[in-house]
Chain A
Amino acid sequence: MKTRRIDNYGKINRDKILSFSWDKKNYKGFEGDTLASALLANNIGIVGRSFKYHRPRGIFSSGVEESGALVTIGSKDRRDPNVRATTQELYNGLEASGQNAFPNVNFDLAGINNYLGRFFAAGFYYKTFMGIPPLEWGKGTAIWMFFEKFIRKAAGMGSASGLPDPDTYEHAHDFCDLIVVGSGPAGVAAAIEAAEKKLDVILVEQDSLIGGNQLAENDFDNSQIKNQLENLGIKIMTRTTAFGLYDNCVVGLLERVTDHISAPNVNIPRQRFWTIRAKHIIVGAGAIERHIAFNNNDIPGVMTVNASKHYLNRYGVLTGKRIVIATNNDSVYETAHQLSEAGANVTVLDSRTNFEIETNKSFEIRKGYVPYNINGSKKIHSLDISKSETINKSETIDCDQVLLSGGWSPAVHLLSHRGVKPKWDYNNACFLPSDTKENITMVGSSRGLWNKNDCIASGIAGTTDALNRLGISKTNYFFPKPGGWKNPIQPLYEVKYKKSRSKSFVDYQHDVTTDDVRLAHREGFISVEHLKRYTTLGMANDQGKMGNIIGLSLMAELLNKEIPEVGTTVFRPPYTPVSIGALSGRNVGKHFRPLRVTPMHQWNIDHGAKMIEVGLYQRPWYYPKKNETLSDSYIREASTVRKTVGICDITSLGKIAIQGPGSTEFLNRIYSNGFSKLQVGKARYGIMLRDDGIVMDDGTSWRLAENEYFMTTSTGEAAKVMSWLEELLQTRWTDLDVNVTSISEQWAGVSVAGPKSREVLNNCVDDSLVITNNKLPFMGVTSTFLKGNIPCRIARISFSGELAFEVYVKSDFANTMMDLLWENAKKYDGCLYGLEALGALRVEKGHVTAAELDGRVTIDDAGLSKMASTKKSYIGSAMRKRGVLKNNDREILVGFFPTNLKETFNAGTIVCEKNNIKGQGIGRITSVTYSPELGHWIGIGFVKGGLDKWKDTTLVGADPVRNKQMNLKVVSPHMIDPKGERMYA
């Protein structure tokens, strides 16, 4: 195969040969190549198949706007689909393959779709499934789901590996005075000006080299610029894309750290996701050359003019031998000249008739000519051209390449992210950026400046603007006027040729044709945003960087309006795709969220605990002996607590110190039950309501001293309660003299529960007299010492319903406390118990937790009416009696037994009346356990009307998810020791 590489051109390093594979065949390229330039050099024209019609796709561009050369890079777990070959740097050993084709891009069986085009027209998905009668919800969905996988496979692009990503990604942060996006002449001028004025500057460039579009010039050398930037202390970030602008001058960057390296150091992240907080942003993102819509304008060999200039001068690749350039503007002539100098036979079709251009006559210019049809399928054979856009007299030119320039679109994307709408400029046939109040300035060709000196002037003006806005200077400045070509552009978006049934493409990747746009219009989609969604125009990887304006112009014509009246679609981040890996950074696997462990975490594990996640906390779940299952273990643990004694880590409960003269009044306002008469040395269970009268949380507060309380909250609501107390004190009750401090991390806690718990504690405290029934009655509190002079707080609080104590020590003493308690508990055949046994014990007692207090439940619903004081007002006291919360048919807390005591049931079961099993039923079961004490399964939950209404009626538990159904008996939630005699023992 002959190479298209030519001598003495390009900035590639010809001494460094790189080998790579394309569709499993080996090829060679040079250091400095992109995959696209290496493929072109190796004469590979077809690099993919299009989305719907599976038409052969070649390389259209040399940059991020590429919508044809989307390929898959790498293999196995490093397979990366939909990579633009035009921005993928070549490295030794790179593996690349074509997409959306079987068996390969040269011979694709699905190419038949090309001839079935009428079935794949705009709105295909919607129409195909519109006919399915939505008789019932499930059925239509099932039909769609059945077909979906085939359609997605047929219309997909590359596919992900489906394997865990072996690479690492990093999140990084930086700050600066000025961030400059783009290192073309404008961006560089802005950065230098700013650095000279002592601003801290970051310069971001998506390419591997700085220079912007100057890299397409044959005599451009960026080394001097680079030195100057570095000497000024400017932070240069290459291979880095500013993918989005956000509020307050925050810029999102994606740095591709190792995507260009064959065997990267495993300790280096593949990509970095940067959040930059700047004071001012200058965007010099350049402009993107458009194509022109006409028949078969997608045949491999079609390219933008500027791209071929890049391939020639940067990569030393002459992309064609007999080249036709079709244009409507001046920007192509330098390229035409250079291509012909490099040995190509060049013809320029310029749609304009009246213009002057200086050339050396090395190529032919045909004024007033337009292309209207390409002949060829896998490559270009010839081009049909005509004088004037109404095709009458035509001729055919033999050629192997067609280069297009339908004008240039300034890259206004980043400004659009900030909600700034661009304005249409008739003179230059493009959207120009509008002004914004935010500290963002557009410079260079992104503000429609076509020549270099204007771009440099705009860069300096941009920095002056920034300095003025930052209050550093007050200097007058002006921006050069948009434009800069000698002859005006003549709008040319489409050349219509009605006689042919060939396709004329607007959006190459998504196969959106001019006919699709017209069809969408006929079917009533006249809003640009609707057009976009219906046809999928501009919704592919390139986001319409090349085709959007053509689509708009077609719509304008159909609506008999001007382009600005039709509007433009809003660009949203990201400017170019950002991998999910970069977004998640290090927050994957175990690091997905923070891990919280109690100070006795290792002690628990050393003593056989299996752990479970509760919120962020790791808590002991159960402590199996030898071959015990979870059930065996928790049933044994719960029985042991009821028989002798058990020890349970309860450190994860929220703990808050409440101090100050207003503390008692404060608690009295936030809890529904009275706290004003709680004596020093006593604790009380309390319920907090929200403003709207619903239960927020429950817990205990211990009065340690006249003006000092120790509050516990549930594990899950700890953070919320803390914020709530701070809010009340800082915003509503600013006269209350109270201080709240979170001390959850400072104290380690255990529950010692069971008939032998006092005896165990007797052996553990310094002075056993302080915990006698007299000195420490039920809900009594004492501050004392464990053996070894360890200060501790003990309260006689029971969640299990047994005689029980909560013991807290400073976190540093957690292990010592566990050793001491466990050593003594063993003497009474005690056990360590986990969350599962704790759950069993509390369900037996009908105690509610987060499963019941789910943000919909009132005090009355929870059967805790006696906890609502009638003697005082408190948060939620007015609202808890409002309308719907007073209804008679509210769901009330009850207990459930299976009618057949041998049966089991699960939490989530819906409670229904017999013969009326449907919908949401009349209640739900929230917590379920096997009760060792009762010898069968029990549950608690809610049912409309509560115990009184249903105690003599058999109800049905429906569990459609598990396909189960059982008869239920409604009982009191307090299934064991309802009078609490054991607690008071």
Chain B
Amino acid sequence: MRLIPKEIESLWTLFTAPTIWALHFLACYITAAVTCAKAGAVPFSFDTMRLALGLITLAALAGIVLSAVLAWRQWGFGSGDPPHDEPTRKDRLLFQGFATLLLSGLSFVAVLFVAMPLVFIGACQP
């Protein structure tokens, strides 16, 4: 079963993980900023917001893992050795797969770092 047609396994899939990272970052910062600026006026508590952002974080991590799995497949499950620098169609595909995998790893760690305050910060600063 193909999740994404092979033709799309290209530059576009390369950006999936960093895009999820960016969206997750915006979701966390905007939600927290608005919740605190409108403290009292929003119909949910700070802890509800923490929980919601926690779920969003899990979804983001799942998306990144999916992107990593697809990249891993595109890379031939690690069968070839980098740097994949022959001027062939095959090597370009493998190179992109490998780069996507690395970017997914970076994005995974970054999303974890962004989500860290959710664990420790329990209230808005007045």
A and B from one complex: no
Q: Which residues of B contact A (CB under 8 A)?
A: none
